[in-house]
A and B are shown apart, each in its own frame.
Chain A
């Protein structure tokens, strides 16, 4: 290792771990001691990353308040040093961190709220994709419908939440007091996507969530309808499937509809 490389490693340890070895190679300034000056880098490191987390998780910040959010943020910064050159991706691991780290494990709505904000952020700058139009459906012969396959828009993503984090998110977003956190008997099945430039989400019924998940896996419409028939009235399964499909297309959730093999 070159002297230059050793010095950079020590400088980095000084910022990340408080190691003071590098101070021996730093000069006092005419007006200030070296440890104070080096402290500018130490302070900036934590505050910059926590600030990025505040920007990415505006409503989690609102929910926790400045003090608790910053305490949590600094714990995350300590546990998960950034490995990516782009700050945009720094807080991607926050939902998993909150799910697995005490004392946050005792408040599962925090992880859910972080996951919802992360997925909305991901939808915001997800790749572009063509938007399938309802008029395209008229081009398929009736006998082809059972073979139709669907490609979700690149921004579309499913997320299951075990708590009422979506209700907390909505209340905070609208400037209302959030409801008390609560575990749900059945997970909330959310579909998150971007319409034009705006990320949004809606909750799906159990069978619509199943149909979306399987459609995203490439299962054709005919099989999807057979699966829907096992969830509710078999006679209306095809109608329900067509209704869900209509909703997806009008919401801009699909990028392609085609006849599968």
Chain B
């Protein structure tokens, strides 16, 4: 599949709406999702972590310890902001109060980039606090492209969007998820966060080869990898982020490295948070695998 070419039926006008080119974010190395359980150990030590990803909403607060810790982390490490509530694919009107708070936080943090997910979190004034799936239709693509353009204009920067783990597929989808993501990135100018575990989870849940997904994403649009653990339920996998990364996902990571090259990579743990040392072992493994798989930078 030639993912660089427009999908059949892509309006010519859509090709003209590609935003001004933004420079590709830099390679940051091998990082970790910042969690409050590790604040002291990080700030009082010198753990071998190249950069941190912070959950934006955890710091969209008036003040106190979270913001103070974040300020200190930002003084010492490159930081990227990762949100869960942008709801970029929602058909509800954009929440500009949220976007302004996100913009204010970005001004404070000066992140290397700001990311969220290709998903929606609610409509009609409600928020389900989940990363909900969308149908991969032309209409949905047009909607999300417009929404990404609007958000990028509001924030004054290109955003990075992540593929989510999904448990259902819609019968009205007209393209694959990787075709949708590729077109979204090409038309809106957003960059992609390739969550290796999410690809594995969705591929298992929907019965396709994760390598097909991987090879369907344009190599030059991916700026970050997520690595995480999941829970296998037998007939489906749930993306719980409460386990170490499993061997199958490590194998897929090696394939992702071969396709996408040196991409900023991080370990993402959200539940059953272990001691920092345990996560450092996984961070070290991301680095070692990249050094083994890829030629030197």
> A residues touching B (Cβ–Cβ < 8 Å)?
2-5, 7-9, 11-12, 15-16, 25-27, 29-32, 34, 36-38, 40-41, 44-45, 48-49, 52, 81-88, 90, 124-128, 154-155, 194, 197
Contacts and interface: CB of A to CB of B under 8 A. Distances in A.
A-B CB proximity, top 5 nearest: A85-B85, A30-B207, A5-B91, A125-B64, A197-B65
Interface in B119-154: 120-130, 132, 134-135, 137, 139-140, 143
A128 B135 CA distance: 44
Contacts of B122: 12, 82
A85 B57 contact: yes
Interface string B168-207: 1111100000000000000000000000000000000111
B60 interface: yes
B63 interface: yes
Contact of A9 (B65, B67, B123, B168): B123
Nearest to A40: B167
Interface of B: 57-58, 60-68, 85, 87, 90-91, 95, 98, 120-130, 132, 134-135, 137, 139-140, 143, 167-172, 205-207, 235-236, 238
Given A41-B167, A44-B130, A85-B127, A32 B235 contact: yes
A29 B57 CA distance: 33
20 contacts: A2-B91, A2-B139, A3-B139, A8-B120, A12-B124, A15-B130, A16-B126, A26-B171, A30-B206, A37-B167, A37-B236, A44-B130, A49-B129, A81-B126, A81-B127, A90-B129, A125-B63, A125-B64, A128-B62, A197-B64
A29 B205 contact: yes
A9 B91 CA distance: 9
A31 B235 contact: yes
B63 A127 contact: yes
Contacts of A155: 64
Dominant SS at the A interface?
helix
B129 A194 contact: no
A123 to B, nearest CB: 8
Nearest to A198: B65
B174 to A, nearest CB: 12
A25 B123 contact: no
A231 B98 CA distance: 47
B206 A29 contact: yes
A45 B87 CA distance: 16
A124 B64 contact: yes
Nearest to A52: B129
A31 B128 contact: no
B55 to A, nearest CB: 10
Contact of B121 (A85, A125, A194, A197): A85
A85 to B, nearest CB: 4
B137 to A, nearest CB: 7
A45 B57 contact: no
A87 B124 CA distance: 17
A148 B171 CA distance: 70
